[in-house]
Amino acid sequence: MLLSKFANEVLSRGAEALLPHNLSQDWLTALQKMADDFLDLNFQNADCSDVGDDVDPILSACVSEILSHRQGGTTEIAPDDLIKKITIYCIRITIETIRRESGNDMPPPTLENILDTDQLAELSNVYPDMAGFLDRVCLAKE
């Protein structure tokens, strides 16, 4: 039911609608809960090699739609790479939640860089607290 509603309200508007700063507050809150659940389930310990594939279908749909847009309609991706991209998307959701709550003016991602680690590394240089978070989710050494 929630996936259907999400498809009608967000996915139907295209990949641009999936950028966290373009989500309504209600959808950002819902995706933040999904992101928290995914990150908590997969990154409770320091073992980066033991990341599972238990992902909410909405998060998978978001990442697949963005990848499809970036790759011209195809989404050929290895399962491990997909999980990494979902992890990055979850972090982007968290950053947007923090940005809205704090009024911080962190630059929003684009469709071209939302699933890349380069901008996250740059942000962690500006916001040192983020470096520990990236380390926790196994993205600090990318």
State the Cα–Cα distance between residues 21 and 100, nearest whole angstrom: 9
pLDDT band with cut points at 50, 70 and 90 for residue 140: low
State the Cα–Cα distance between residues 38 and 41, nearest whole angstrom: 5
Residue 77 neighbours by CB under 8 Å, 6+ apart: 67, 85
**pLDDT digits over 74-87, tens only?**
778 888 888 889 99
How far from the centroid of its chain's Cα atoms is residue 39's Cα?
Answer: 10
pTM of the complete model: 0.88
* pLDDT for residue 131 is more than 60: yes
